[in-house]
Amino acid sequence: MMPTHNKIPAVNIAGRLVVNGKTLLVGQIVENSLVLLEPCEIPPKTEARLIVTVSGRDKVYDIFLPHGFSVDSEVVDFY
């Protein structure tokens, strides 16, 4: 007899960073850093809003970007 496995439900997760009036798509969030999907310039010491959508429900986080972000960067640190 084959073992039974619990099915893992499909979960749709998306992230957006709202900063200086622009909405940028987030590819990955890990602890206190994130990866943006598009290059941009964000000055150091900028406040932003991180919106994480899980299965259609938004969680909004006010965050601070101490080092900003440049087109040459891959990762944005925040707290």
Phi first, then psi, for residue 12 (nearest 5°) are -95, 120
What does each C-alpha distance from 30 to 1, 2, 5 come to in angstroms? Answer: 40, 37, 29
Q: How many residues are there in the chain?
A: 79
User: Each residue of 4-60: pLDDT tens digit?
Assistant: 667 766 667 899 999 999 999 999 998 899 999 988 999 999 999 999 999 889 999
Q: Which residues have CB under 8 Å from 3's CB, separation 6+?
A: none
> Beta strand pairing status for 46-54 and 13-19?
antiparallel
pLDDT of residue 23: 96
User: Each residue of 60-74: pLDDT tens digit?
Assistant: 999 999 999 999 888
